[in-house]
Amino acid sequence: MQDEKKQEKGGYGRWLGFTLAGTLALLAAFGAVTVVVDPFFHYHGPLKELAYPIDSERYQNDGISRHFTYDAVLTGTSMTENFKSSLFDSLFEVRSIKIPFGGGYYKEVDEAVRRALAYNPDTRIVFRSLDKSFLMYDKDAWNPTAPVAEYLTDNNPWNDVNYIWNKEVIFGNIRGVLNLTKSGGRTTTFDEYMHWAPEREWGKEAVLKTYGRQSGNLPAVEFTEEDRQRLAENLEQNVLATAKANPQVTFYCLIPPYSIGYWDSELIAKGGLERELKALRMTAEMLLECDNIRLFAFDDKFDIICNLDNYMDVIHYSEEVGDQLLVWMAQGENLLTRENAEVYFNTITEFYTNYDYKSIYE
């Protein structure tokens, strides 16, 4: 009886040992595949033998910054997602990476810029959008809908387990790489990366579907001391500090031209026009004090802004408009300076204060 129990116990032990060994071998195999294929470029750039779908900005952007070859960074929010890196490269004579963050607040974009500059000290140009919508947010605000994958952006190797043995990565992203490779595809270019414009509906009818307009306007909202403080802290921490710490880099900052529908629905209707204009003036005053920041603003391009055929909603302009903005910026057009800023803001204040907003709906 005792011999039988010993044999039974020994059998359980061998079974447990085989099971553990098999499990460890399987984990090692899956982990090795993740490291070798590396769909998020956490350990290396794209392998020549494989074709990579690049389509997950908050999971792939950091790896792109770590391991791709570049001397310029094209980043920002959805305002830059349809920009073409090839056009940017030819206009500015650079080799860029595109790492946008749709809906990204100032802090998220700035942290990505800081990491890119740390990974690649040879970076010469950083191009980023400065969205009006997020100007007066808290300096540490983070879009609650944006996924946070710190295991990809920090330097802690131990939490890489969240990547190496992630079932969505193994059975989703890695499979995507292998399937694209098998089908004879190629790695996504930066012109194609996050390029969603062809899939959307554009024009006046499409824009007017995206918002409802109340019949009356709310009372004017003041630009308060609290607004001023938040704005100053946001710009100082998430724009100026990085520029000042990297005087060898030229920072091209774009204040995107939102449509006339934005000025109507978000400012005139809600009483926020004067508040917004004061915030934009203060933004220019602060950023123009930094010699390596080139600030561009296009709210005086009234022919573009008032033509809703250029938009899909109240803020997102077409890729053709995006191309034109890049051309103008490369030419230095609409560059704000200490000498011309006052004229610029007087011009747009006069225009948006007196515009016939009822004509939008005719």
Kindly list the domain boundaries of the chain, sorted by start residue. 66-139+192-361
- Is residue 141 within 8 A of residue 105, CB to CB? The reply is yes
Measured in degrees and rounded to the nearest 5, phi and psi for residue 278 equal -65, -40
**pLDDT band at 213, cuts 50/70/90?**
confident
What is the percentage of the chain residues whose pLDDT exceeds 90?
87
Q: Which residues contact 219 (CB under 8 A, 6 or more apart)?
A: 271
Encoded tokens for 121? 């000290």
Encoded amino acid at 75, one letter: T
d(CA 335, CA 333): 5
Q: Tell me the pTM.
A: 0.92
Q: What is the pLDDT of residue 24?
A: 56
Q: Are 36 and 56 in contact (CB under 8 A)?
A: no
pLDDT band at 10 (very low <50, low <70, confident <90, very high): low
- Among 127-131, 159-163, 223-227, the minimum mean pLDDT is found in 159-163
Domain 66-139+192-361 belongs in CATH node 3.40.50.1110: yes
DSSP class of 125: E
Instruction: Measure the CA dihedral 229/232/236/239, to 10°.
Output: 130
Q: How confident is the model at residue 212 (pLDDT cuts 50, 70, 90)?
A: confident
